[in-house]
Amino acid sequence: MLPYQSLQEAEQALGRHLTYAETLWFNYSANMSDYFLYCHTILFLFLVFTLVPLPVVFMELKRPKIVEKYKIQPKVRIPRSLMFKCYRDVMRMFFLVVGPLQLLSYPSVKWVGIRTSLPLPSGWEMFLQLAVYFIYTAPIGFAAPYAHWAEILILGIPSFLGPAIVPCHMITFWLWIVLRQVEAIETHSGYDFPWIPTKYIPFYGGAEYHDYHHFVGGQSQSNFASVFTYCDYIYGTDKGYRFQKQHLAKVDLQSPLLFVFSVVAMVCLTTLKEKCNDDENGYYTNEAYKSE
């Protein structure tokens, strides 16, 4: 709650007139507790995962020709029923896991110094803080909202590291949360648009890179990173992807039959290669599984 009873008192405390944005913030938040303002995060998450994916849902259902060429797996069609089930499961996870976690994590938000007071941060200050936050983004593929509840909890830890290291205003914190979720949705959209602004982020993988993680399937330990692909390179979890890219570059893509055969063969070879590597590294200890 702001410690001012009026706009005039706030201006006297700051020694200047409030900006238009600060006036809006004062009128909205002056009588709200900090805890109630923090709970807005749940509302923003709900709105982001309800509204932002709608254009992708429309493209998936209607398949307009203008965007069809950007579909990463053009032969795959997701039925309406499966989309609804995914949305329903995500919302259940939010209300049962993410929501309660947000309500209980307020003391940590206050402890790291996230504030709701005036003055508001400048645009340049917000940009620099968000840039630092992206440095501490989780370099794993847990960004998708459709995940196990434990993965959702694990995701919240690295996403919170940035604001914990560089405390900010609540508005900057909201913007960070929204940007992280929009990035997750874009990474899992199934479309690789050339005009996406995230392509200008250094080491950014994007939808085309992370799609391989889902394309190969559950037997693969590949391409976890959605933002910083160098982590996959360091841990060797992008070897199958790079192997496939190098092979497909040599294939005559003018021959559809050869291309399809090559993709199927490469998926099988990549999966087998990664299972063998995991076996050598001791990841699989079940003898029955190793004999498959």
Instruction: Return d(Cα 238, Cα 233) in angstroms, integer.
Output: 6
Q: Report CA 45 to chain centroid distance, whole Å.
A: 12
Average pLDDT over residues 246-261: 57
Of 74-78, 190-194, 228-232, the range with the highest mean pLDDT is 190-194
Average pLDDT over residues 189-208: 80
Q: What is the DSSP letter of 268?
A: H
Bigger pLDDT: 144 vs 45? 45
What are the percentages of helix, strand and coil residues in the chain, rounded to 5?
65, 0, 35
Q: Given this model, what pLDDT does residue 249 score?
A: 66
Q: Given this model, what pLDDT does residue 24 score?
A: 95
Residue 261 has pLDDT above 70, yes or no: no
Residue 20 has pLDDT above 90, yes or no: yes
Average pLDDT over residues 49-71: 86
3-state SS, residue 191: strand
**Structural domain spans, the chain:** 7-249
Average pLDDT over residues 121-150: 63
Average pLDDT over residues 244-268: 58
CA angle 219, 225, 230 (to 5 degrees): 115
Contacts of 183 (CB under 8 A, 6+ apart): 143, 198, 226, 227
Average pLDDT over residues 121-137: 77
Bigger pLDDT: 159 vs 150? 159
For 3-13, the pLDDT digits (tens) are: 888 999 999 99
Q: Write down the mean pLDDT value for the chain.
A: 76
